[in-house]
Copies of this chain bind each other. A is one copy, B any other.
Amino acid sequence: MKTQALPGFRDFYPAEAALRNHIFSVWRSVAGRYGFEEYDGPPLEPLKLYTDKSGSEIVQQLYNFLDKGGREISLRPEMTPTLARMVAARAQGLKKPIRWFSIPQLFRYERQQRGRLREHFQLNVDLIGETSPLADAEVIAVSIDVLRELGLTENDFKVRVSDRNVMRALVLAAGVPEGLVDKAFAACDKIDREPAEVLIEKMVAGGISEAAGAEVLKVAGIKGGEALRAALRGLADEDSAKQLFECIDSLRAMGLDGYVEIDCSIVRGLDYYTGIVFELFDAGKSLRAICGGGRYDNLTRDIGGVALPALGFGMGDVVLGELLKDKGLLPRVESQISVFAVAVDSDDLPEVLSLAHELRDKGLSVEYALKGQSVGKQMKVAASRDARVVLVIGAAEREESVVVVRDMAAGTETKVSRELVIERVTGLAASI
């Protein structure tokens, strides 16, 4: 019985690896436009790094174990704790604001569901050391521009933005007691996935009155700036949305407001968010969130012992790949080489090797047959590799110091002197 890959883990054959590299390359290029620099940490960390942030319940979702030195360790389920650890270790020396991104592979042991993976790659973009809502706008803009760069438009996706301080004000005004705000948030978070009765029941079970629970669901239904302004009018915390509105205004100035919508059902499940939060969905909301993030001003203090305001997002490769597929935006990934060099006879091989290596030194991708084959067979291989140029060298060509150059796109064939052939072929290959 042959050994197979573990369930929930992907093999990347060249076509899949090329798609992955396409997404990574867009991630890197867009993050770079905003001045973000790449970092990385170890895929294995002390278990404590994750339980300190998320409590001991997280352990059941981890690939954790004892190493041979008796250390409790875990594969990373998320990047933020590593980021907080690294930033805290050099907090003094790093210029603020810190603009960093990373593309880690992350691991979660989830009960096997159909097609559910146990690993994925995630773009993490974080901005540390700045409280201004312009920082929030900046980070949200990166997430939007990644999708635009991949070919998606405002008809394809929306960023839904909210603010936990605003939500707190609204939920308190709805009659939720101070200590039960988290239970109200949990209900808001599930408004698209569970019926209202069930959510109200859960809130009531948590100690929230039925009337307040019904009000909470109304709050979670608020969409758009006008509706939010109306809901806040007259509240003691009327100003709580100042940051959120400034963030939206900045995105408008960037020309990105068409991609953004205020949506009070967005609270993000995780306790550590402290301000503006957002999620990016396909327009039909038929897939899971493509991206989620927000402000977490206390995390570097709690994990790293150094207080720094911070915010960021994570965007996974799996849901993003599904959306690109749905929209027909997967790139053409068949490999193509620049040059295939044909040796008519084995005596011609040294000249083929010499020429091939000169062309490779110019940066061209070059192949040739690794064993003696007929010219016809070699031409077939050249065609199957989609070579831009085919070179043919036989005894006659060597005698004359020429090379037959076939331009596969134009279907033309010329003899070029050996001295000029490198220049000619690099020119042809550049014209792909």
Binding site secondary structure of chain A:
mixed
Interface size class of A (residues with CB under 8 A): 35 or more
Contact status B145-A44, CB under 8 Å: no
User: What residues of B have a CB within 8 angstroms of the CB of A32 in the complex?
Assistant: 365
* Stretch of A35-43, A206-214, A272-280, A392-400 that contacts chain B: A35-43
Closest Cβ of chain B to A245, distance in Å, is 14
A67: chain B residues within 8 A (beta carbon): 6, 63, 109
A329 to B366, CA, bound (A): 27
Q: Which of B4, B52, B63 contacts A3 (CB 8 A)?
A: B52
Please determine whether A12 and B35 come into contact, CB atoms closer than 8 angstroms.
no
**A254 close to chain B: CB less than 8 A:** yes
Contact of A256 among B351, B357, B367 (CB under 8 A): B357
Cβ-defined contact, A367 with B44, below 8 A: no
Question: Which among A42, A335, A366, A370 has the greatest number of chain B C-beta atoms within 10 A?
Answer: A370
Contact status B33-A85, CB under 8 Å:
no
Instruction: Tell me which residues from 79 to 103 in chain A have a Cβ below 8 Å from any Cβ of chain B.
Output: 85-86, 88-90, 95, 97, 99-100
Query: Would B141 and A6 count as touching, CB distance under 8 A?
Result: no
Contact for A11 among B20, B33, B42, B71, CB less than 8 A: B42
Which of A131-139, A219-227, A317-325 binds B? Answer: A131-139
Confirm or deny: A49 has a beta carbon within 8 angstroms of a beta carbon on chain B: yes
A135 partner residues in chain B, CB cutoff 8 A: 370
Tell me the complex Cα distance, A42–B363, Å.
30
Interface pairs A-B: 6 shortest CB-CB: A65-B65, A9-B42, A253-B353, A253-B350, A14-B37, A254-B357
